[in-house]
């Protein structure tokens, strides 16, 4: 149990470093930027879902054996967002406590927020403004 807690704390610290504004917000609509910056993790409401550098479009979502999966559909270039590349079609298991249902989504895409190590911060379903 101690290891799990330490991993979560360490993962949260990594996420904070990844969420820095390194210029990736320059070409983003200000309303969308504010939406990204205001998103908080559903299970840790004081911790950010992080930002565009951690966000991947994941428009396909399905449930298999009681688990939720999102499929990466993001074809945007990674370099301007300063994020690691994840292949289109990669399936990511979304823990139930990371499903975010309380915020509308102005992007028109499902979005999964991932740490560089693949830890899921949040998944926001597409739709709603």
Residue owning tokens 């149990």: 1
For the chain, give the number of residues: 129
Give the distance, in angstroms, between the CA of residue 67 and the centroid of all CA atoms in the same chain. 18
Query: Domain ranges in the chain?
Result: 2-124
Q: What's the rounded Cα separation, in Å, for the pair 116 and 129? A: 29
pLDDT digits (tens, 9 = 90+) for 43-69: 999 999 988 889 999 999 999 999 999
DSSP calls for 60-105: EEEEETTEEEEE----S-SGGGT-----TT-EEEE-GGGEE-SS--
Half-sphere exposure (CA, 13 Å, Cβ side) for 10?
8
- pTM of the full structure: 0.76
CB 24 within 8 A of CB 8: no
pLDDT one-digit tens code per residue, 67-116: 999 999 999 999 998 899 999 999 999 999 999 987 788 888 999 999 99
């Amino acid at each position: 149990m101690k290891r799990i807690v330490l991993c979560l704390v360490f993962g949260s610290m990594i996420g904070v470093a990844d969420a820095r504004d390194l210029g990736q917000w320059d070409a983003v609509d200000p309303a969308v930027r504010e939406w990204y910056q205001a998103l908080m993790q559903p299970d840790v409401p004081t911790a950010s879902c992080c930002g565009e550098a951690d966000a991947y479009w994941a428009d396909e979502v399905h449930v298999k054996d009681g688990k939720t999966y999102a499929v990466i559909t993001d074809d945007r270039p990674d370099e301007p967002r300063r994020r690691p590349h994840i292949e289109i079609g990669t399936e990511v298991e979304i823990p139930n406590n990371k499903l975010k249902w309380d915020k509308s989504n102005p992007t028109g895409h499902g979005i999964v927020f991932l740490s560089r190590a693949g830890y899921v911060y949040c998944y926001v379903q597409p739709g709603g403004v």
